[in-house]
Amino acid sequence: MFKAHLVVVEDDPDLREVLKESLSREGYEVSVAEDGLSGLELIREVTPDLVCLDVMMPGLDGIEVCRELRTDKAFRRTPILMLTAKGDEADVVLGLGIGADDYLVKPARPKELVARVRALLRRGSDIAPEDQDGALRVGSLEIDVERFVVRANDVRLSMTPTEFEILHSLAKKPGRVFARSELLRGRGGISFSDERTVDAHVRAIRQKLGAAGDMIETVRGRGYRLSDPPS
């Protein structure tokens, strides 16, 4: 049976052990690192299925580690869950903007941690090659699910798994308004902080799309939709 391999990078030794035990009990293989530099080396060595990454660490912090991973082709699709003690919106927006898929405010409750990890791993599998519905084309936007490729105006773009999932959901039904909860599958009921997560991802997607980013419209009080270009 496949056992997902996770890497936890956390400088607090007690919390690091709690995280490791909580995830190991769920059947995951867990490797740990105590700081950003050793964590980055460990990630590159074992190529995990998911990374849990503390934001505030001495030396190389979680934001820098996330940025390094997203510039490395081998880890552009690896789900990243950021762990933050502050829950500060600026940290959250920055982390999500550079490619993190989700965040969790410490101290993380084991059940919520496991639920977030499961959801992120499921997102990665949902957009794997077995989701073979071909390429979607909406205006200047092209989404190839089989190859995990997004192009806008014929320019190939790099997307994280969560960004890809959100854009794919919008593109499958242009013009339809999606509530934020629909764009975070596997999360169940979502809180205000989860809504901010969706908003941050949408901002990052718009930025990557450049001029095509205007295709994603905000519907106040409802959610988001991808504009259906006139025929």
Residue 215, pLDDT score: 92
DSSP classification of residue 87: -
Residue 46 or 98, more confident: 46
Whether residue 51 has pLDDT greater than 50: yes
Cα-flanking dihedrals φ and ψ of residue 87, to 5°? 65, 20
Beta bridge partners of 82: 53, 103
161-219: per-residue pLDDT in tens?
Answer: 888 889 998 998 888 888 888 887 644 444 445 677 888 899 999 999 999 999 999 99
Domain at 135-226: CATH code: 1.10.10.10
Residue 148 or 225, more confident: 225
Average pLDDT, the chain: 84
Place of tokens 């909860």: 181
Top-confidence range, 80-89, 115-124, 130-139: 115-124
Q: What residue type is assigned to position 58 of the chain?
A: P
Write down the number of H helices and E strands in the chain. Answer: 7, 11
11-32: per-residue pLDDT in tens?
Answer: 999 999 999 999 999 999 999 9
Whether residue 80 has pLDDT greater than 90: yes
Q: Which of 116, 114, 103, 108 is nearest to 198 (CA)?
A: 103
Of 18-22, 24-28, 41-45, 136-140, the range with the lowest mean pLDDT is 136-140
Q: Which of 111, 98, 104, 127 is nearest to 52 (CA)?
A: 104
Instruction: Give the span between the Cα atoms of 160 and 80, in whole angstroms.
Output: 9
What's the first-to-final CA gap in the chain, in angstroms?
48
Band the pLDDT of 113: cuts 50, 70, 90: very high
Whether residue 2 has pLDDT greater than 90: no
Residue 230 or 170, more confident: 170
Instruction: Give the span between the Cα atoms of 160 and 162, in whole angstroms.
Output: 6
Whether residue 130 has pLDDT greater than 70: no
Q: Average pLDDT of 93-110?
A: 83
Going from N- to C-terminal start, the domains of the chain cover 5-126, 135-226
Residue 216 or 127, more confident: 216
Q: What is the assigned CATH class of domain 5-126?
A: alpha beta
> Which residues neighbour 14 within 8 Å (Cβ) at sequence distance 6 or greater?
none
